[in-house]
């Protein structure tokens, strides 16, 4: 199993429950496909470096997880079609 890091930016115009639901969806994809979530850092609402989809802020999450090499592709596919996700990035840790 490889170690990965996910940065997730969720839209700021959602309710607290919708933000948590979006994060739980990403976490569920990881755990549902045989991955293990090692650590979660909720960075809260932060200002974006530049405007994305008319948003200047977003809720940030940093998730460290271990999984097989196929999981990040599936996670990327699901997060791309999730409307409440402003940006995301999955990086393999050395």
Helix, strand or coil, per DSSP, at residue 80:
helix
Confidence of residue 41 (pLDDT cuts 50, 70, 90): very high
Helix axes 71-80, 16-32, angle to 10 degrees: 150
Lookup: tokens for 6: 């996910």
The reported pTM is: 0.91
Read off the tokens for 65. Answer: 């997880």
Mind listing the pLDDT tens digit for each residue in 74-91? 999 999 999 999 999 999
CA angle 91, 75, 66 (to 5 degrees): 55
Domains and CATH numbers, the chain: 2-92 (3.30.70.60)
């Amino acid at each position: 199993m490889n170690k990965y890091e996910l940065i997730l930016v969720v839209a700021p115009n959602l309710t607290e429950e919708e933000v948590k639901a979006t994060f739980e969806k990403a976490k569920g994809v990881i755990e549902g496909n045989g991955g293990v979530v090692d650590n979660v850092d909720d960075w809260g609402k932060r200002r974006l470096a530049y405007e994305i989809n008319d948003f200047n802020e977003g809720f940030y999450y940093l998730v460290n997880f271990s999984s097989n090499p196929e999981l990040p592709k599936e996670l990327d596919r699901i997060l791309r079609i999730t409307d409440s996700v402003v940006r995301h990035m999955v990086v393999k840790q050395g």
